[in-house]
């Protein structure tokens, strides 16, 4: 039993690997070897930085085809994190428009500039810090996590899913209904960083490790 964190060259994978090791005795590996990825029992698709670079690196490391296949096969649980969530959708408006994996219908949008909250407070972009996630549908990955629990976010773009049934959690920021938790079948993906979200984040990772879809 191995959990493979897919390393296509973007971002800091050590935090997520360390957090997984904290909640499981299963082997956690950071890898870009297609055989290791195919052979793993569970997959984590992380992502940090600009989506053009993430998609570009996924292409360059020749993992794009494999990731798409694995998503379609629905044979093992996959957890997308941050840009790893965004990449699952059809298209992002970041970097002038970037085509993504298109596993789920929907697009990735920018929060916009000059945002003002309901109390007149100026809202910053990136949306950085601990915000509440409202649970839209029940899911085994929500076990032991209260509705409205706070998770740690850092992002300027957010998912607008095409289908309500794919949305498992949402966060309100500046009046925007950001679909921060999405999934279908064996795939679950979050915009926030569970590996940096203290107890609730670790609970979500533990739920993922125990998930048998």
User: Rule CB under 8 A: which residues touch other proteins?
Assistant: 11-12, 14-15, 18-19, 22, 48-50, 113, 117-119, 121-132, 150, 152, 154-155, 171-174, 193, 195-198, 201-202
Catalytic residue among 94, 127, 155, 195: 195
CB of 65 to other proteins, least distance (A): 25
Q: Which CB atom, from 66 or from 154, has the smaller least distance to other proteins?
A: 154
Q: Which is nearer to other proteins, 71 or 83 (CB)?
A: 83
Residue 193 bears catalytic tag: yes
136 near 169, Cβ under 8 Å? Answer: yes
User: Is 195 one of the annotated active-site residues of the chain?
Assistant: yes
Of 97 and 129, the one with the shorter C-beta distance to other proteins is: 129
**Residue in the block written with tokens 């966060």:** 171
Least distance to other proteins, CB of residue 190, Å: 15
> Which residue, 50 or 66, has its beta carbon nearer to other proteins?
50
Catalytically annotated residue among 54, 82, 100, 206? 82
Burial of 65 (0-12, 13-18, 19+ CB in 10 A): exposed
Q: How far is the CB of 172 from other proteins (least distance, A)?
A: 6
For the annotated catalytic residues, the residue numbers are 82, 193, 195
């Amino acid at each position: 039993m191995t959990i493979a964190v897919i390393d296509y060259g973007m971002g800091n994978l050590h935090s997520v690997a360390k957090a997984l090791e904290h909640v499981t005795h299963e082997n956690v590996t950071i890898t870009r070897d297609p055989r290791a990825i195919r052979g793993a029992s569970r997959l984590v698709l992380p992502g940090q930085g600009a989506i053009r670079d993430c998609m570009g690196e996924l292409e360059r490391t020749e993992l794009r085809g494999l990731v798409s296949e694995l998503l379609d096969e629905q044979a093992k649980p996959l957890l997308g994190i941050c840009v790893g969530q965004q990449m699952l959708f059809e298209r992002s408006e970041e970097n002038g428009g970037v085509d993504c994996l298109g596993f789920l219908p929907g697009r990735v949008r920018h929060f916009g500039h000059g945002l003002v909250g309901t109390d007149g407070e100026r809202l910053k972009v990136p949306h950085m810090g601990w915000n509440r996630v409202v649970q839209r549908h029940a899911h085994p990955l929500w076990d032991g996590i209260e509705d409205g629990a706070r998770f740690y976010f850092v992002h300027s773009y957010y998912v607008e899913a095409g289908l309500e049934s794919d949305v498992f959690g949402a966060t309100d920021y500046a009046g925007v209904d950001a679909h921060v938790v999405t999934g279908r079948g064996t795939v679950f993906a979050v915009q926030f960083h569970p590996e940096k979200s203290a107890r609730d984040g670790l609970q979500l990772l533990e739920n993922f490790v125990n998930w048998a879809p």
